[in-house]
Amino acid sequence: MKRTNTFEVVPMSDADEELLRRVMDASASLWNELTYERRQQFFDGDSVWNTEDYRKRYVGVLGSASAQQTIRKNDQAWKGFFDSDEPDEGLPGYWGNEEDGRKLRWFGRNDQYTIQWGKRSRLEIPVGKDLKDEYSLSGRLRLEVRGEPRWDGKQCQLELQYDEQPDQFRAYQPVEVTDTDSHPRLGTPVADGSAALDIGANNIVACTTTTGEQFLYAGRDLFDRFRDTTQEIARLQSLLEDGRYSSHRIRRLYRRRTRRRDHAMDALARDLIERLHKEGVATVYVGALTDILETHWSVEANAKTHNFWAFRAFIDRLATTAEEYGLSVEARSEAWTSQECPQCGSTERTTRHKDTLTCECGFEGHADLVASETFLKRYTTVARPMARPVCLKWDNHDWLEISHSHRPNEEHTNPQVASVGVGSDARPPARGIPRL
């Protein structure tokens, strides 16, 4: 399996930083030129694979192998575009321009670079002959590494990126992990339980397990912050001169918005999988992507669904994290689970208002938790009654249980907020879930 080490890269002198920037800028120029030619061929109805030999044009700056790696990444982007079954995904784009700023990146084949880990860790990358002569560099460019590898294994392609916001160069090194003994986090489930996830627009995840546990991860605050940043980006774009579409400040806001979202999603995947592993869950059911996208139809929900939540990326992240613990993630159809009454099975007599699902038979419950429970019952047997759900909110660093999401006991149990049992004629309020 592949895992990625992430660490900071620091040039050892001003000259080294200038050289590194020129190498990464040349990689961006190569990408942009190749992308431009292929986009023109695409619009003209020609094959995008008949292009100039850009490797020869950039060999003096990047070196032959590094130039070829950028070309291969571009090939992969176009192959992904043609293989995609999602028409909304656009053509491969550019890495910025000289006026507004480029995205500085560099790709190195696994045998092109070396990393020496230790008290003073070092990274060495190749440089083209023209730049080596200009900077009197006898060998490879040597850079300081800050951080430690999280994963040991066979090194794969290295990617360097420059992040303008913290003024920092970062490296991403995927490795092939094969020895599970050296990674105690790579384990197996302690039992054979199952869990089902309802991924929503207001609550990111509602989860139900066969062990009787339920977890609810709130998303409103996260989306509100994302939306506020989006509105500020739109305001700044409206102030740009004609012919300009971006600025340094706008690009910083885009990056900040994405980092905040991804940080929360990464932490959610880790927190949820750790909880499920402790519960003895071995299989996690998630809704098929088409089911998720077709569920949300309002303007605000569509903004969440298509711009903020990034479902495919989140599910991939969830599956990768689950793999560390030996859990499997399976995509299954969850059609109508959000409208189905768990008490009478009707989908026509139910009404959803915000977070509440009600039915004419008398049932009332939290819509997302009900959906995850119904989803789970389609593919497995739920033998235990549900405990009071654990509700979590994001505090910009961790997912924390809110104070009134404890399980009921003799002191705290309130019969008026208990879940509705089958055959009940009463219509009590929704399960005692605080509004998130």
Host H or E run for residue 399: strand 399-401
Please count the residues of the chain.
Answer: 436
Q: Which of 346, 351, 386 lies closest to 369, judged by CA? A: 386
Q: Alpha-carbon distance 7 to 21, whole Å?
A: 18
Phi-psi region of 118 (alpha: psi -120 to 50; beta: other; left: phi over 0): left
Whether the CB-CB separation of 55 and 64 falls below 8 Å is answered with: yes
Q: Kindly write down the DSSP assignment for every residue of 256-298, as one continuous string.
A: HHHHHHHHHHHHHHHHHHHHHHHTTEEEEEEE-HHHHHHH--S
What is the reported pLDDT for 47?
Answer: 92
Phi-psi region of 325 (alpha: psi -120 to 50; beta: other; left: phi over 0): alpha
Q: Kindly write down the DSSP assignment for every residue of 325-372, as one continuous string.
A: TT-EEEEE--TTTTT--TTT--SSSEEEETTEEEETTS-EEEHHHHHH
Q: Alpha-carbon distance 297 to 307, whole Å?
A: 14
What is the reported pLDDT for 425?
Answer: 39
Give the distance between the most distant pair of CA atoms in the chain: 85
What is the reported pLDDT for 286?
Answer: 92
Q: Alpha-carbon distance 141 to 168, whole Å?
A: 17
Q: Which of 331, 340, 349, 330 lies closest to 371, judged by CA? A: 340
The CA-based angle 388-390-393, given to 5 degrees, is 145
Whether the CB-CB separation of 365 and 419 falls below 8 Å is answered with: yes
The residues that bridge with 197 in the sheet, in sequence order, are: 207, 286
Q: Is 198 helix (H, G, I), strand (E, B) or coil?
A: strand
Q: Is 110 helix (H, G, I), strand (E, B) or coil?
A: coil
> Residue 67: how many CA atoms within 13 Å on its side-chain side?
20
What is the reported pLDDT for 11?
Answer: 94
What is the reported pLDDT for 303?
Answer: 53
Per-residue pLDDT of the chain (436 residues; tens, 9 = 90+): 778 888 999 999 999 999 999 999 999 999 999 999 999 999 999 999 999 899 999 999 999 999 999 999 999 999 988 887 654 457 888 887 655 567 889 999 999 999 998 888 999 999 999 999 999 998 999 999 988 888 888 899 999 998 876 788 999 998 887 755 455 455 667 788 999 999 877 889 999 999 999 999 998 888 889 889 989 988 998 998 887 878 888 888 888 888 888 889 999 999 999 999 999 999 999 987 555 545 444 445 555 555 566 677 788 888 888 888 889 999 888 888 888 998 898 888 899 888 899 999 999 999 999 999 999 999 998 767 788 899 999 998 899 998 654 443 333 333 333 343 333 333 344 444 544 5
Tokens matching residue 287: 């809704």
What is the reported pLDDT for 290?
Answer: 55
What is the reported pLDDT for 202?
Answer: 80
What is the reported pLDDT for 324?
Answer: 80
Q: Alpha-carbon distance 207 to 199, whole Å?
A: 9
What is the reported pLDDT for 200?
Answer: 79
Segment 160-196, tens digit of pLDDT: 998 876 788 999 998 887 755 455 455 667 788 999 9
In the chain, the amino acid numbered 96 is G
- In Å, what is the CA distance from 435 to each residue of 3, 133, 366, 391, 393? 37, 65, 10, 10, 11
- pTM to 2 decimal places: 0.64
Q: Alpha-carbon distance 115 to 8, whole Å?
A: 13
